[in-house]
Amino acid sequence: MTAQNDQPFRVKGRGALSRAGTIEFTFDGKTYQGLEGDTLASALLANGVHLMGRSFKYHRPRGVLAAGVEEPNALVGISRDKARHTPNVRASVQELYDGLAATSQNRFPSLNFDIGSVNSLMSPFFPAGFYYKTFKWPAKAWDKLYEPFIRRAAGLGDAPTESDPDRYANRYAHCDVLIIGGGAAGLLAAREAAKKKQSVILCDENPQMGGYLLSDSDVEIEGLSGPAWAASVVAELKKLDNVRLLTRTTGFGYFQQNMVGLVESVTDHLSTPPADLPRERMWQVRAKKVVIAQGAIERHMVFPGNDRPGIVLAGAAQTWLNRYGVTVGDRAGVFTACDTAYAAAFDLYEAGTEIAAIIDTRSQVGDDLLAQAKELGIEVFTGAAVAATTGNLRVNGMTVKTATGEEKQFDIDSLIMSAGWTPSLHLYSQSRGKPVWDEASQRFLPGHSPQNCVTIGACNGAQDLATVFAEAAKAVGAKPTKITVKDDVSLAGGVIGTTGPAADKGKAFVDFQNDVTAKDIKLAVREGMHSIEHVKRYTTNGMATDQGKLSNMHGLAIAANMLDKPIPQVGLTTFRAPYTPTTFGSFVAHTRGSLFDPSRHTPIHDWAAENGAAFEPVSLWKRAWYFPQAGEDMHEAVDRECRTVRTTAGVFDASTLGKIEVVGPDAAAFMNIMYTNGWDKLKPGRAKYGIMLREDGFIYDDGVVGKLSDNRFHVTTTTGGAPRVLNHMEDYLQTEFPDMRVWLTSTTEQWATIAVQGPKAREIIKPLVSGADISNEKFPHMSVVECKVCGVPARLFRISFTGELGFEINVPADYGRAVWETVWERAEPLGACAYGTEAMHVMRAEKGYIIVGQDTDGTVTPHDAGLTWAVAKSKPDFVGKRGLQRPDLMADGRRQLVGLKTTDPKTVLEEGAQIVDDPEQPIPMKMLGFVTSSYWSGTLGQSIAMALIEGGADRMGEKLYVPMPDGAIEVEVTGTVFYDPKGEKLHG
Amino acid sequence: MLLIHCPYCQEDRPELEFANAGEAHIVRPKNMDEMSDEDFEAMFFIRDNPKGVNLERWRHAFGCGRFFNAIRNTVSDKFLKVYKAGEPRPSDEEIAELLK
Amino acid sequence: MRNYNVFSLARETLRGHKGWEKQWRSPEPKKQYDVIIVGAGGHGLGTAYYLAKEHGITNIAVLEKGWLGGGNTGRNTTIIRSNYLYDESAGLYNHAVKLWETLSQELNYNVMFSQRGVMMLAHNVHDVQSAQRHIHANRLNGVDNEWLTPQQAKEYCPPLNISKTSRYPVMGAALQRRGGVARHDAVAWGYARQASAMGVDIIQNCEVTGINRSPSGEVTGVETTRGTIGAKKVGVVAAGHTSVLMEMAGVRMPLESYPLQALVSEPVKPVFPCVVMSNAVHAYISQSDKGELVIGAGTDSYLSYSQTGSMHILQHTLDAIIELYPMFNRMKMLRTWGGIVDVTPDRSPILSKTPVKGLYVNCGWGTGGFKATPGSAHVFAHTIARDEPHKINAGFTLDRFRSGRLIDEAAAAAVAH
Amino acid sequence: MAKSAVKPADRAPALAGFRFANDHVAMHIAPPASRTNLRATEKGAKAFEKKLGLTLPRAPSGAVASGGKLAFWLGPDEWLLVDEKNANTSMVPKAASNEFSAVDISHRNVAFVIDGPGAANMLNAACPRDLSLKAFPVGTCSRTIFGKAEVVLYRKAKNTFRMECWRSFAPYVRDYLLEGARDAHI
Ligand SMILES: Cc1cc2nc3c(=O)[nH]c(=O)nc-3n(C[C@H](O)[C@H](O)[C@H](O)COP(=O)(O)OP(=O)(O)OC[C@H]3O[C@@H](n4cnc5c(N)ncnc54)[C@H](O)[C@@H]3O)c2cc1C
Ligand SMILES: NC(=O)c1ccc[n+]([C@@H]2O[C@H](COP(=O)([O-])OP(=O)(O)OC[C@H]3O[C@@H](n4cnc5c(N)ncnc54)[C@H](O)[C@@H]3O)[C@@H](O)[C@H]2O)c1
Ligand SMILES: Cc1cc2nc3c(=O)[nH]c(=O)nc-3n(C[C@H](O)[C@H](O)[C@H](O)COP(=O)(O)O)c2cc1C
Ligand SMILES: [Zn+2]
């Protein structure tokens, strides 16, 4: 398709863009030309295109209304490629680039003809909250019938369908002064702060600093035009290294203690983004002082038919003309309640746009403005209002009601309007400041700042540059500098709420995107929605993607009027982050994939991977789960691993176990407090199984503890428990027992731990050990010795979690893999295997050893778990001692850990399966307990399980049932030790 | 993200370095056996949870590792004072002063 | 009271919707009521409704310091499910789900209860064991909950990433098909409208500042910002503010109030058919009828009554969301907000009489009480009217923390929301 | 002893040999070192200083390089001691003390040496601390957080940092640093 090459509404000699920068883009498949520096909206307008979107509820045709972030209508989808589709992009903000492809949204089949717009004809049936009143019958029909219909009609653009390939960056930053908004106010504040050698960050959401100065054709500052002055200040600041200038950067959120989130758009304006750049960059700024210079946002007029394409904000029209050299039409009407729209009208007139008339709701208007209009031959109607407009896909006429009540018709192709300027209180309010109503100027203004924060400029209510500059200097503690300003236009004046006699006839839109009319707001109040928060939620006013930047004040005024209450008594709704919609990507930034969470690997991990291990995630760790050989499934592999360990031996990577070194003269005393066991009698060189409780008496963690010397313990914890156990210990040590001479150090990662288990364990390691006699006599079960293994310093434990003769070799981590391989060189020829956590689980279950977190769940006491023997009765105190004495923890019928055997030995119970005594009873059944662990035991040739069962200890031999969807399974209650009950193997 | 002054590091640090550790000045009696069930409940479960001035514990977990106490306003989330573990609970008069 | 239906809507349409009456009255407080409910959230308004409807007590005031429904009821992610582990919980939440199923008709107000299914993901062996334990217990309690393989989970929720290489691969999911979402505001409004019609005075902008007791200790009424109001019975249903209120009656509570945040994306066309929760990576998400993705975040680590939270909490939540749904990375956040959740040591609610005669408390719902609204209100009304718990809430007493008979859904490894 | 003994010299630290450089930052893994976690009373600190002939910093966030060793203040009773010269000799005194605890953690940590004008920027991709020279002057050492990893960060010179983390976190820290490096010039 060839582009129409002229841009009929581009005005020669206006704006900062050059024809030289002509580029092409498409909208709904049609190719157009625009200029570098355009926004998508200004480029479309240059081509005479106003219709850019469809509204949310009624699917009404909508044109672009604003030139900035407040735009509610012109939302488009932009796709660089399939994976890079972004919905709901504001055409007024999106910078044009060569080849940009945009599509309109929320319409079918096309923007010009949208079937959905029947909603508009039906609209009388859909007032605010209509869906609460209907769609209730028949009962089931809501989610089956009505809801799917409503869901399809609602929503705006389409969500992306593929994983986002773009990169997003994060940066934490600090500064003395953060200035948000680079208009006249922000620029001067930055200049003054920089002079005082403070570190400054100045950000503005636009591609250039300057704010409204870039849109104003008349103003003169220090002898320069607005844009030139802004440029000169920027040039000055660029030279300084204590200033960071961030354009295209939005301050979206103001958090505690001057933490402000900024998001910088880095590549969305580029035709071909360089691969090394992130799409966006998140700045998390902590500032000593924050200066808010957000400026003001112009309001639209609320009158019937105010939403036709071609009807725009006056300030926007002025911006498009003076920044982009684009006019909104050939013949414009003007509808205003303040002075700034006159400036816009005069600019358009100069640019060759006919001004049909200026309609001003005020009866008093400044003589100078009237004179200037007269001089240009522009008719001004004061005390008048626009009562209606005509035109479908574009406005083509307006009806004016004059002060004397007569009606006049005007043919127009555009209408610029201004109801005045609303100071932007967003960030100030987010900083938890409370806006204060100013009766004189009928505006909310910032009050006291609860944080070290100052608001300046238009967002602080300043209406002329002189005031703006004074505030800016003061904000950063600089003395007022005399700055000459000529031809500045005041922001004063304006109306809030409906205007004109006919506001109740037709649709006077308050919130464009959500199709909220003045009528809807009145209806809400009539139905008893007296709080502005109710009005908001009932009508959805202010809940669209522009978050009420245009609509909130109008909505408030209409509600207040209905309630016959002063505006401040009705009040504003809450301002919340983000100021403008902010991508999830910018929040996530780097933390995707491998950076989402650390993935912790042991020094032996790679060996396991090279040897085909399957891994299981345990807390942050990846642990070798099982080592399948060719053709083996998990079940077969685990069976083989267990068999091999029991008959020969196996090697197991236990490095992830938490390790804490407890050192000091009071080490034993401290252990006595932290663990239920007694530690006084334990001799150096001996080890012991310890249980740790919370103060409430429930099991918190467990592990084997080796006593290396009188004042040094090597404590092990569960893999997942390591950090919280150390924290728990530090807590008691620092705050309850600060006088104890004992200190803690995490050694989890200092040691690689290699378990060698099975009848041949000693044979495997003996030749590798030096400096210790590991014979059964000298080194019995539950011993520990510091020696050398493979020539490196080691801590060797004689312990077993499998029930077989077992050793655990701890060597410094850097040697872990080498030692493992040396052990493996000996183990493999002897027929031993490497085994993983699953086989370990099976074997420990065969022995009735518990896994904290699997056989206990935070409601289990040592007594429940059959570990009463590990609780020292005689000790005066240990954490959890008192908790254990609470009535319910001593009551009969608590769930106790027992073993289960299925009557049919082949049936393996499901972990988590529930247990009852009578499977025939009706639902809800009385559940006695549940299966905590369950495995197929190849060694025993039958299934085994552990379960927590009410009064379990007294049920030995009882038959109980596990009701499954396909019938109940009969089980017998047994002890928890299924294998080698006498423990002969352990001691072998 | 809060900014928290650590009384041991004597510096403002980002909240990410800290872990909140619940209500401060809960005494764990020396002889717990003599505690009634009521006392145990009060110690382990009952919390002041005030709207306003809260005395709470923090641990500088990713810093000096120390537990310490803080007085913070739970409405404004502003810290009024931090002090080392073991230091006595500031008097109500002192707290009233801080609020001014 | 005018019935809401297609015909009344059509009739009003012709009259320019001029004839709709107020949905609830805004009366001045009377001097004396039979029952005062403190807190006009879903639970409080519902309690008043059931007191009037099922116990014939209509001389009731619901006192609200702000605007009705403006507490957690108005700021929650509306997940509704009943697949809790313990018998007591299953009983309570399932009672609620049953009531949800007919609530729109009962209230003649469309609360848009949408049973699109709630799926809870398992990311490691421990999750799987815990999910299975829930599923088995639920089945024997008559609560629907089924196990899905990763592939089945993907079919049920197409945007879900089940790649084996992701940091926390999805190992399966527990699905409750009867679970879903509802329109939070409509729940408060619907109860308010019916309660008001039955004579209940809903008094907004009326903060309770004191609880009055006779010399013998029983409740005689409350002090408020709109004066003293008398009542024989007072039910405190104030969520995050419960500790503050109970303190007024000298009762200290096993509660802590934390900020909990949520956020919505810009609206998009339907992409997300159900509700998905993940406790391991901690994120939950659904899509509202208006099209926003509604995403629940975690709590901050410290007490706060500020209804705002920290940015890093939002980041962690979105990290998890994007890990599970990488295509949402370019979606834009539209708004964030926070509520104040009242958390008990065992993560189960308290629906109970108190040591003070005539004072009742309904609290401790933490991050998960919206789903219980009708059930909780129903049994709490019973507890107040009869001065004894309904069998469904018999276990949720205040003194369980003394005896140690907890209902520990948290320990049983299910974060409750 | 078995033929295939491991020589104490051949340590295989995590990420051994990792190097990276662009125009703004360079980084590599420091050679193996001997490390000790010292926790002590003031008396114990003095005793330990005598024994090992080094000085321990007493001020928060302090660091002292003496006797060829580095001593970092981690907390009021906690120091991290690093000796790169004698990587395989433990600093832990044989005799027990009632005044301090010394624990060998030589193999627990891995150190990244980071250098270049973009060093601080790179670190600030994941470290929330103010790393300006004013707030984090040369010679400062502090335990802090980097993404989700605990680290000990030491500023050796204006543009030179040493950052230690636990070995299993090293790949995560490396990947994060590489992300930060792409933005280091900003
Ligand atoms: C972000 C977020 C997400 C959540 N997501 C879910 C979810 O997905 N599913 C789920 O089931 N639950 C969820 N919850 C929890 C749920 O919102 C609450 O448990 C539930 O809404 C509580 O309802 P309520 O009526 O008890 O409390 P509220 O709705 O908070 O009502 C309590 C009322 O008491 C008023 N009050 C307080 N003090 C006083 C006083 N002194 N005088 C008068 N009035 C007073 C308050 O103003 C408030 O209106 C979420 C909560 C939050 C904050
Ligand atoms: N129609 C007019 O003539 C008109 C309109 C507005 C302002 N002005 C003049 O400008 C003066 C006000 O100057 P000012 O600097 O206070 O306002 P400004 O509007 O000129 O500048 C504010 C700047 O901040 C930006 N901004 C707003 N929120 C932001 C955020 N969250 N993050 C990043 N950037 C953000 C805006 O895009 C704008 O560029 C007025 O006194 C008036 O003289 C004139
Ligand atoms: C389920 C749900 C959906 C919401 N959708 C929107 C929305 O589409 N637009 C919006 O502006 N706010 C939305 N909100 C947030 C509310 O605007 C508001 O932030 C929330 O009710 C908390 O109130 P507050 O922010 O006034 O404190 C939604 C809230 C909930 C609970
Ligand atoms: Zn500290």
Is 60 exceeded by the pLDDT of residue D3?
Answer: no
**Is B66's CB within 8 Å of D150's CB?**
no
d(CA A143, CA A215): 50
**Is A876's CB within 8 Å of B21's CB?**
no
Q: Which of B28, B40, B66 sits opposite A736 (nearest CB)?
A: B28
pLDDT band at A532 (very low <50, low <70, confident <90, very high): very high
Instruction: Pick the residue of A172, A175, A201 with the most D CBs within 10 A to test the interface with D by mutation.
Output: A172
- Does ipTM surpass 0.85 in this model? yes
> How many helices and strands in chain D, by DSSP H and E?
3, 11
Q: A-C interface: how many C-beta pairs under 8 angstroms?
A: 306
Is 80 exceeded by the pLDDT of residue A708?
Answer: yes
- Beta-carbon contacts of residue B91 (< 8 Å; ≥ 6 apart): none
pLDDT band at C416 (very low <50, low <70, confident <90, very high): very low
CA angle A908-A912-A914, nearest 5°? 90
* Shortest-distance Cα residue to atom 5 of ligand 2: A212
Instruction: Pick the residue of A258, A619, A749 with the most D CBs within 10 A to test the interface with D by mutation.
Output: A749
- What is the pLDDT at residue C414? 36
Pocket of ligand 1 contains residue C46 by CB under 6 Å: no
Given the CA of residue C307, which atom of ligand 3 is nearest to it?
27
Q: Chain C neighbours among B 71-90 (CB < 8 Å)?
A: 72, 74-77
A885 contact residues in B (CB cutoff 8 A): 33
Instruction: Pick the residue of D167, D175, D185 with the most A CBs within 10 A to test the interface with A by mutation.
Output: D167
Ligand with an atom nearest the CA of residue C206: 1
Ligand 3 — pocket residues by CB below 6 A?
A 543, 547, 573-574, 576; C 74-78, 184, 264, 288, 290, 292, 294, 307, 334-335, 337
Q: What per-residue string of b and e applies to A369-403 under the rule 16 or more CB within 10 Å gives b?
A: bbebbeeeebebbeebbbbbbebebbbbbbbbbee
Q: Which of B2, B61, B85 sits opposite A734 (nearest CB)?
A: B85
State pLDDT tens for residues C139-153: 999 999 999 999 999
Calculate mean pLDDT across residues D109-116.
Answer: 98
Pocket of ligand 1 contains residue C45 by CB under 6 Å: no
Q: Which of A125, A159, A584 sits opposite C9 (nearest CB)?
A: A125
Residue of C50, C72, C211, C284 to mutate, ligand 1, most atoms within 8 A of C-beta: C72
d(CA A152, CA A131): 15
Does residue A738 belong to the interface with chain B, where contact is any CB pair within 8 Å?
yes
pLDDT band at A5 (very low <50, low <70, confident <90, very high): low
Return the sign of the alpha-carbon dihedral for residues C193, C197, C198, C200: positive
Q: How far is the CA of A937 from the centre of ligand 4 (A)?
A: 51
Is 60 exceeded by the pLDDT of residue D1?
Answer: no
- What is the pLDDT at residue A504? 67
State pLDDT tens for residues B8-21: 999 999 999 999 99
- What is the pLDDT at residue D2? 47
* Shortest-distance Cα residue to atom 8 of ligand 3: A543
**A938 or D5, greater pLDDT:** A938
- The SS3 of residue A124 is helix
pLDDT band at A3 (very low <50, low <70, confident <90, very high): very low
State pLDDT tens for residues A641-676: 999 999 999 999 999 999 999 999 999 999 999 999
Concatenate the DSSP letters of all residues of C121-170 into one string: EE-SHHHHHHHHHHHHHHHHTT---EEE-HHHHHHHSTT----TTSSS--
Is 70 exceeded by the pLDDT of residue A695?
Answer: yes
- The SS3 of residue A438 is strand
Is 50 exceeded by the pLDDT of residue C417?
Answer: no
Concatenate the DSSP letters of all residues of A959-977 into one string: EEEEEETTEEEEEEEE-S-
Is 90 exceeded by the pLDDT of residue A481?
Answer: no
Calculate mean pLDDT across residues A919-934.
Answer: 97
Ligand with an atom nearest the CA of residue B85: 4
**Is B47's CB within 8 Å of C401's CB?**
no
Given the CA of residue A576, which atom of ligand 3 is nearest to it?
25
Is 70 exceeded by the pLDDT of residue A268?
Answer: yes
Q: Which two tokens stand for residue A136?
A: 């209730």
d(CA C77, CA C285): 8
* Shortest-distance Cα residue to atom 24 of ligand 3: A574
- What is the pLDDT at residue C196? 98
Ligand with an atom nearest the CA of residue A468: 2
Q: Chain A neighbours among C 241-260 (CB < 8 Å)?
A: none
Q: Which two tokens stand for residue C367?
A: 């991050």
Among the residue ranges A77-91, A128-142, C101-115, the one predicted with the least confidence is A128-142
**Is D129's CB within 8 Å of B13's CB?**
yes
pLDDT band at C165 (very low <50, low <70, confident <90, very high): confident
**Is D145's CB within 8 Å of B62's CB?**
yes
State pLDDT tens for residues A359-391: 999 999 999 999 999 999 999 999 999 999 999
Calculate mean pLDDT across residues C62-75.
Answer: 98
Average pLDDT across chain A, whole number: 95
pLDDT band at A502 (very low <50, low <70, confident <90, very high): low
State pLDDT tens for residues A615-632: 999 999 999 999 999 999
Calculate mean pLDDT across residues A216-244.
Answer: 96
Does residue A727 belong to the interface with chain B, where contact is any CB pair within 8 Å?
yes
- What is the pLDDT at residue C415? 35
Pairing of the two strands D141-146 and D149-157: antiparallel
Share above pLDDT 90 across residues of chain C, in percent, rounded to a whole number = 91
**Is D78's CB within 8 Å of B64's CB?**
yes
Average confidence (pLDDT) per 10 residues, chain B, 100 residues: 97 98 96 92 97 98 98 97 96 93
DSSP letter (8 states) at residue A455: E
d(CA B6, CA A297): 42
State pLDDT tens for residues A276-328: 999 999 999 999 999 999 999 999 999 999 999 999 999 999 999 999 999 99
Ligand with an atom nearest the CA of residue A533: 3
Is 70 exceeded by the pLDDT of residue A343?
Answer: yes
What is the CB neighbour count within 10 angstroms for residue A291?
26
Pocket of ligand 2 contains residue A251 by CB under 6 Å: yes
- What is the pLDDT at residue D27? 98
pLDDT band at A503 (very low <50, low <70, confident <90, very high): low
pLDDT band at A2 (very low <50, low <70, confident <90, very high): very low
**Is B45's CB within 8 Å of C252's CB?**
no
Looking at the complex, report in whole angstroms how far the Cα of residue D66 sits from the nearest Cα belonging to chain A: 24
- What is the pLDDT at residue A500? 73
Does residue B1 belong to the interface with chain C, where contact is any CB pair within 8 Å?
yes
**Is A735's CB within 8 Å of B57's CB?**
yes
State pLDDT tens for residues C252-277: 999 999 999 999 999 999 999 999 99
| Alpha-carbon distance values, C167 to A176, A593, A842, C162, D154 (Å) | 39, 6, 26, 11, 31
